[in-house]
Amino acid sequence: MVEKIITSVQNTRIKELKKLFTRKGRKKAGQYILEGPHLVEMAIQAQADIDMIYYVPESSHAHIEKFRNMNDALPFTQVTPEVAKSLSQTEQHQDIFAVATLPEAKEIHFDHLNHAVLILDQVQDPGNLGTIIRTADAFGYRDVILGKGTVDLFNDKVLRSMQGSHFAVNTYELDLDEAIPALKAHDYFIATTELNDRAHAANAFDLQRKGKWAIVLGNEGNGVSQMVQELTDVSLYIPMIGSAESLNVAIAGAIVMYQFPPKS
């Protein structure tokens, strides 16, 4: 079968694809875009519902052959370098894009969660969210709760930072004023990270491991909200010997997750 080729940036389909770079457009279409061979390969491995793979034949031949060998039922459409550039959200476009179906929101079952849970309270920077999800994947945190005000998981910058880890981690979008009490009702010990008030916080390296716990990471500028702090059991700080006032939220999250790894 001869593949279609799209040669114009004014093509109707290309115009529709560009709408997927907004949260509103993604929700309306029920789809999102993955850019680059690595993310496309991760989607194929995860058996994501892929609507179409767009690629520049001159630069992507080897990757496309690999994808065909992985799944010979995948649909492909060729595009010109100019069209690929118009679709790219990076300075150096990678010539391969996959349009995938947005997964349905997962229903949370608190009695089936891992004993170590990560909670995000209004993390707004896409790079931070992506890095946190990728780090959670690396350290074995399989359940991540995204509170209201947290950036969209399928933002293109988040996707690039996650590097495919969203296929390995369960994410749930919930109101934290409901999620945290539910976790506590299921015997979770809830710890927040603290920006400044060390007088009322515990050293993260001194805290003893609990049976089941959740770690809350907060907004880049304001930290964990007062409402959430009042629902939790302890605030943690990470001791620093330098002059920096605070750590980036993704770095702080990595340190705390490493300090409190899920049980093997």
Q: Check: CB of residue 98 under 8 Å from CB of residue 50.
A: yes
| CA 207 – CA 55 distance, rounded (Å) | 51
pLDDT in single tens digits along all 264 residues of the chain? 557 899 999 999 999 999 999 999 999 999 999 999 999 999 999 999 999 999 999 999 899 999 999 999 999 999 999 999 999 998 888 899 999 999 999 999 999 999 999 999 999 999 999 999 999 999 999 999 999 999 999 999 999 999 999 999 999 999 999 999 999 999 999 999 875 555 566 766 766 767 899 999 999 988 999 999 999 998 888 888 888 888 899 999 999 999 888 975
| CA 246 – CA 222 distance, rounded (Å) | 11
| CA 22 – CA 89 distance, rounded (Å) | 12
Place of tokens 């061979």: 37
**DSSP state, residue 219:** B
The model carries a pTM of 0.92
| CA 48 – CA 61 distance, rounded (Å) | 22
| CA 95 – CA 145 distance, rounded (Å) | 33
